[in-house]
Amino acid sequence: MKLVHGAQGGIPQREIKPQSEFTQFTTRYEPETSSIWCWTQPEPRPCLNATLVEELFQLQQQLSTTYKKQESGLVWPFRHLVLASKIPGIYNLGGDLELFKQYIIDGNEEQLRSYAYKTIDLLIRNINNYDLPITTVSLVQGQALGGGFEMALSCDTLIAERSSRLGFPEILFNLFPGMGAYNLLARRIGPALAERIILSGETYTAEKLYDMGVIDVLAEDGEGIQATKDYLNSHKQSHNTIRAMKKIRQIVAPITKQNFYNIVDIWVEAALNLDKKDLAKLDRLLQLQKAMKNCKIIRESNTEKTPRHGEWRKITDVEFPLTTHLGEAVPENRRKNDGRRRPDAVTEEES
């Protein structure tokens, strides 16, 4: 594996596979909103394990490659990427605590940093919209903790159902969220309030975070999917403005990969300094991750599921989307009309 220069030492440079079998999430293209929905279902626990991080990175690369390979004068009807969870009641419970614990016990600084850098690579591409003219949206239906909360914050728009709970529990075992929480919260609500949220260790209700300005759209329980569709449809005519505002936000409150790496280096140093008492607390949170996974199985047996739109087909190569979940053919790249529109403009009919 090739290495590129990073904040400290080399950072693994992934080679993109021509085809990928994704095991940690499923996807579906929705032509009505010109969106690709990505439903995560990480195993064996609902956390940001190394496989999920790698597979999501591969998806990002495939989307970028597919979009940029279009013929001149054609446009692929893809404007939005929605990140959601297929696990009822859980968006994502954060970093892989079992992996963290083992690396810390072994004093394996290199592997701990490598995992963190790969997660940063994933979030930065999210923040930069995969370098495509798209909008990223996170839909939280349930608990989003630690790295899961950071992943949700890395999207342009954060939508959450009212009973969802989000927070950063890392301070409970004497650590802090090191994958961008401070930066992402600070540019939404300012550094003072960002620090208060991080240092509190509290799990906040979606309603409270909406009032603070962290969450963009508050949906009623069970209505998150429809609320997301409504949001996407209501912003069809504002796509160009939203893209421009994103560029302005990056100028006013810039976020760079190097800054994230620098924070990760502080996080790695702090993690390796945890003592046995801290690791015991970390282990209790790890057991909670496992227990919540078991609770999910119980909820499924009682049919208390968050409504889903059936099984989502897996993407197996970069030639997508081809069909919808209903088996309908997705229109080919559509040729732009000649006229007075700018080259990147798309009509509502085309979208």
Q: How many CB atoms lie within 10 A of CB 80?
A: 22
| CATH number corresponding to 20-335 | 3.90.226.10
pLDDT for 15 equals 41
Do 138 and 225 touch, CB atoms closer than 8 A?
no
- Supply the pLDDT for residue 144: 98
pLDDT given at position 309: 36
Instruction: Give yes or no for a cis peptide into 44 (omega within 30° of 0).
Output: yes
Nearest one of 144, 136, 128, 139 to 226, comparing CA atoms: 139
- Say if residues 95 and 47 touch (Cβ distance below 8 Å): yes
Strands 25-30 and 35-40 turn out to be: antiparallel
Q: Amino acid identity, residue 141?
A: Q
Q: What dihedral angle (degrees, nearest 10) is formed by the CA atoms of 166, 87, 28, 350?
A: -30
State the number of CA atoms in the 13 A half-sphere of 351 facing the CB. Answer: 20
- Name the DSSP class of 131: G
Q: What pLDDT does 136 receive?
A: 95
Question: Distance (Å, rounded) from C-alpha 349 to C-alpha 339?
Answer: 16
Q: What is the pLDDT of residue 303?
A: 34
Q: How many angstroms from the chain centroid is the CA of residue 256?
A: 17
Q: Per DSSP, what are the bridge partners of residue 140?
A: 160
Enter the tokens of residue 196. 């208060």
**pLDDT tens digits in sequence order for the chain, 351 residues long:** 232 323 333 333 444 343 458 999 999 999 999 999 999 999 999 999 999 999 999 999 999 988 888 776 667 788 999 999 999 999 999 999 999 999 999 999 999 999 999 999 999 999 999 989 899 999 999 999 999 999 999 999 999 999 999 999 999 999 999 999 999 999 999 999 999 999 999 999 999 999 999 999 999 999 999 999 999 998 877 777 877 887 888 888 889 999 999 999 999 999 999 999 999 999 999 998 888 765 543 333 333 333 333 333 333 333 344 334 344 444 444 434 444 444 444 443 343
291-299 LR contacts (CB < 8 Å, sep 24+): 292/46, 292/90, 292/93, 292/143, 293/44, 293/45, 293/46, 295/89, 296/46, 296/87, 296/88, 296/89, 296/90, 299/88, 299/89
Nearest to 142 by CA among 165, 118, 167, 112: 165
Q: Which two tokens stand for residue 66?
A: 């597919």
Listed in sequence order, the DSSP H helices in 35-189 are 50-68, 97-106, 109-127, 147-153, 181-189
